[in-house]
Amino acid sequence: MANNDIIAVLKKTAKKQPVFLLSEIIPYLDEPLAVDQIFSAIAKKLPGLGLLAKKTGNDYTISQKTAEETLAITAVEAGRQDASFASQRMPPILETAIEQYIVKKTGKELSDPVMLDRLRKAIVFQKSDYWKPTHQRALKYTKAYSVLGYLAYHFPVYFVQTEHLLAMLARDGLLKEKMTVLDAGTGPGVVPLAIADFWSRLETATATVYSIERSEEHIEAFLSLRDQCTKKGERVSIKPPIKADLVTFDPEKIPQQIDLMVFSNSLNELGGLSIEERADLVLKLAGRLAPDGSILIVEPAEETTSTSLRLLALALKKRGLTIHSPCSFIWGTNCTPDRCWSFATGRNIQPTRLMGRLSECDEPFRYINIDIKYSYVVLRKDEKTRHSYRVPAKSRVLRVSQVHRHIDKRVNFIAAKMSENLGDGKNLMFRLCDGTADKPVFAVVPVYHVTPENEVLKTAPYGTIVKLDGVLVRYNKAHNAYNLLVSRNTRVTMAEVPDQED
Ligand SMILES: C[S@@+](CC[C@H](N)C(=O)[O-])C[C@H]1O[C@@H](n2cnc3c(N)ncnc32)[C@H](O)[C@@H]1O
C-alpha cells in the first residue's frame, strides 16, 4: 500500500478524533499492515501534519500537536548568548550591511559631508516628530533619508534591545523549538534580523518570521539587509514583508498559528487610533495567535508612550487577554495605569562607526543613540503569568492604595519593583506597584542607609516582588505621589523566588 494512502487515512481519522490509537486506522487501509509497519511509514510525516505519536504498549497514541516544544537553552547556547551580549553591539556583518545600503541608496561615500548632513537632518526631524503628540506626527517613512536616518540612529539600539527581549522570553519559557513569528510594523526588519542573529547561536531551533509594513522605503531596506546578512536554507526563514496598513490589514493573509506576535515601537505610530481602537487592532491579529502563543508589545520609555502602553495592556486584559509580564497583580485586582510610567533598562550599546561619523559636528550628542530603555508587556490567550505570587491572606501588610491614610507612619508593604534607580548620587529611588494604587509610589533610600538588610531593593531585577518592613510614608505634594522612605532600620526581602530580567 502506498504511503500516501496511509497518510490520507491518518489525516481523515485525525480530523474526526483529536486522540486515537494507530491500530484504529488498520480497518480503513486497503491492505492490512502491522502497527510498526504503519508507524515507520508515517513517522517522518507526523510533525508536518501537526500530529504527535506516543508509544503506548505495542501501539502508538496519536494526538494533535497543540503546543510546540518549549525552547530550552542549553549551557553551551547560553554561553554564546552571554558572549554576544557582552559585546553590546550589532553583528559586524549587519553594521557593514547598513553602511553599504546607505552608500548604495545615496550614491555617496560614508565620508561625504553633504550626505552626512542630510542624515543628521533626518535624525533631528525624526526626534522632533517623536516628541509631538501622536496625532500631530508627520513621519511616514516615505522619503529615503527618513529610513536611512532610522538605520543610522534607531536600528542599532532597537536591535540589541530586541535580543534582550528574546532572552527574556526564553527565560520565561515562551519561545519554542520551532516557531512562527509575526512582526507588525517591522520597519527595516529589526525584529526579524535580531531573531536570525539570536537563533544563529542556538543548535537546532527553527523559526519562520512573517512581517507587515506599509512603507516601501522600509521594505526595500529590510530586503537588502536580509539578503546581505542571512542565507537561504538557514534555520530562520525571514519571509518578505507583507506591504499593508495595519489598520485595515486582513488577518487571513498570515498563518493561523502564530507563536509570537511582536509590535515593536509600532503601535505608538498609530496616532489616529484611541486606546480601544488599538486594542481592537491587536485583538484582530490575536485571532491568528496559537492558543499557547505570546504577544510582545514594546514601546519607547518616554512617559506618554509608555503610559499609553499600560492603558492598552489593561484594555486588552479587560477584553480577555492575560498580562503575563512585567506586571504582577499580587492582590488579584485590576490596576489604574493612568500614571504608570514604568520601563526596563539595559547596558548602553557601543556606538556604531556611523554614529561616530555623524557626531563629528558641533552637537555630537544629538547623533549618538546608545541607551537601552523600553516599556514592554507580554500578553497571552491562556492564563500563564510570570509571577503567580499573591499576597498571603494573613500578611501584616497594607495595600498601597491605603498609603494616604498612613502619612508619616511606619508601615509594611509588598510590591513589585517597577524601575531601576530613578534617583541621583545621594538618594536611590525605585518605582513600586502592587496593582492597587492610583498615584505613583516610590521607595526612596539615601545611599548611606543601604544595608545588607535592605540592599535587595537596589539589586533585585526589574519586576521583582519585594516585602518592605518598616517604611516611613511621605506625601510628595509637588508630584502628587508617595515616597516610602527606606532607612537602615527597614528590612527588604524577596517576597518570592527571584526572576531574572535583563
Ligand atoms: C518606529 S518604527 C519601528 C520599526 C521596528 N519595529 C523597530 O522596532 O525598530 C515603526 C514602524 O511601523 C510602521 N507603521 C506605522 N504605522 C503603520 C501602519 N498603520 N501600518 C503598517 N505599518 C505601520 C512604520 O512604517 C515603521 O516602519
Does residue 390 form part of some domain? no
pLDDT band at 1 (very low <50, low <70, confident <90, very high): low
Pseudo-torsion of CA 184, 264, 163, 348, nearest 10°? Answer: 160
What residue has cell string 507612619? 409
162 lines ligand 1 (CB under 6 A): no
Does residue 415 form part of some domain? yes
187 lines ligand 1 (CB under 6 A): yes
Q: What is the pLDDT of residue 500?
A: 44
pLDDT band at 446 (very low <50, low <70, confident <90, very high): very high
Residue bearing the CA closest to ligand 1, atom 13: 185
Nearest to 239 by CA among 209, 197, 205: 209
pLDDT band at 348 (very low <50, low <70, confident <90, very high): very high
What are the φ and ψ backbone dihedral angles of 446, each rounded to 5 degrees? -60, 140
Quick check: 475 pLDDT over 90?
yes
Residues 247-280: pLDDT tens digits? 999 999 999 999 999 999 999 999 789 999 999 9
Q: What is the pLDDT of residue 94?
A: 98
In this structure, the answer to whether residues 203 and 338 fall within a common structural domain is yes
Last residue of a domain, one of 37, 64, 91: 64
Q: What is the pLDDT of residue 501?
A: 41
The CA–CA distances, whole Å, from 420 to 73, 297, 346, 434 equal 27, 20, 10, 16
Residues 71-105: pLDDT tens digits? 999 999 999 999 999 999 999 999 999 999 999 99
Q: What is the pLDDT of residue 134?
A: 66
Contact in structure between 395 and 414 (CB atoms under 8 Å): yes
In this structure, the answer to whether residues 304 and 362 fall within a common structural domain is yes
Residues comprising the chain, all counted: 502
In this structure, the answer to whether residues 46 and 104 fall within a common structural domain is no
In this structure, the answer to whether residues 198 and 334 fall within a common structural domain is yes
Do the strands 465-476 and 481-485 form a parallel or antiparallel pair, or are they unpaired? antiparallel
Mean pLDDT of 4-25: 88
Does residue 391 form part of some domain? no
213 lines ligand 1 (CB under 6 A): yes
Q: What is the pLDDT of residue 67?
A: 54
Return the CATH number at 417. 2.40.50.140
Domain that holds residue 57: 3-64
Last residue of a domain, one of 64, 91, 108: 64
The cell numbers describing 417, all together, are 519593583
Looking at per-residue confidence, does 106 or 497 come out higher? 106
In this structure, the answer to whether residues 126 and 260 fall within a common structural domain is yes
Quick check: 430 pLDDT over 60?
yes
Does residue 448 form part of some domain? yes
Task: Kindly report the three-state secondary structure assignment for every residue of 373-421.
Answer: EEEEEEEECCCCCCCCCCCCCCCCCECHHHHHHHCCCEEEEEEEECCCC
In this structure, the answer to whether residues 262 and 372 fall within a common structural domain is yes
In this structure, the answer to whether residues 13 and 99 fall within a common structural domain is no
Q: What is the pLDDT of residue 498?
A: 46
In this structure, the answer to whether residues 97 and 49 fall within a common structural domain is no
Give the position, in ligand 1's atom list, of the atom nearest the Cα of 218: 27
Task: Enter the pTM of the model.
Answer: 0.86
In this structure, the answer to whether residues 440 and 485 fall within a common structural domain is yes
Mean pLDDT of 234-250: 97
Name the least confident of 43-52, 163-172, 177-186, 240-249: 43-52
Q: What is the pLDDT of residue 143?
A: 86
CA of 117 to the centre of ligand 1 (A): 25
299 lines ligand 1 (CB under 6 A): no
Nearest to 104 by CA among 70, 148, 60, 136: 148
Does residue 375 form part of some domain? yes
Helix (H) or strand (E) holding 355: helix 353-358
Q: What is the pLDDT of residue 135?
A: 66
Mean pLDDT of 274-303: 96
Return the CATH number at 276. 3.40.50.150
Q: What is the pLDDT of residue 424?
A: 92
Does residue 392 form part of some domain? no
Q: What is the pLDDT of residue 502?
A: 39
241 lines ligand 1 (CB under 6 A): no
Quick check: 410 pLDDT over 90?
yes
Q: What is the pLDDT of residue 408?
A: 97
Q: What percent of the chain has pLDDT over 70?
A: 95
Quick check: 499 pLDDT over 50?
no
CA triple 238-239-244, angle to 5 deg: 130
CA of 310 to the centre of ligand 1 (A): 19
What are the φ and ψ backbone dihedral angles of 352, each rounded to 5 degrees? -80, 170
CA of 160 to the centre of ligand 1 (A): 18
Mean pLDDT of 358-377: 95
In this structure, the answer to whether residues 327 and 230 fall within a common structural domain is yes
Helix (H) or strand (E) holding 344: strand 344-346
CA of 94 to the centre of ligand 1 (A): 20
Does residue 394 form part of some domain? no
Does residue 499 form part of some domain? no
436 lines ligand 1 (CB under 6 A): no
In this structure, the answer to whether residues 358 and 313 fall within a common structural domain is yes
* Mean of per-residue pLDDT scores for the chain: 92
Helix (H) or strand (E) holding 485: strand 481-485
Quick check: 296 pLDDT over 60?
yes
CA of 260 to the centre of ligand 1 (A): 17
211 lines ligand 1 (CB under 6 A): no
Cα–Cα distance for residue pair 186/214, rounded to 1 Å = 9
Last residue of a domain, one of 41, 64, 87: 64
Using the 8-state DSSP alphabet, how is residue 351 labeled?
Answer: P
Residues 321-341: pLDDT tens digits? 999 999 999 999 999 999 999
Number of structural domains the chain divides into: 3
CA of 246 to the centre of ligand 1 (A): 9
In this structure, the answer to whether residues 202 and 245 fall within a common structural domain is yes
CA of 297 to the centre of ligand 1 (A): 13
Q: In sequence order, what are the residues at sequence separation of 6 or more whose Cβ sits closer than 8 angstroms to the Cβ of residue 158? A: 190, 264, 265
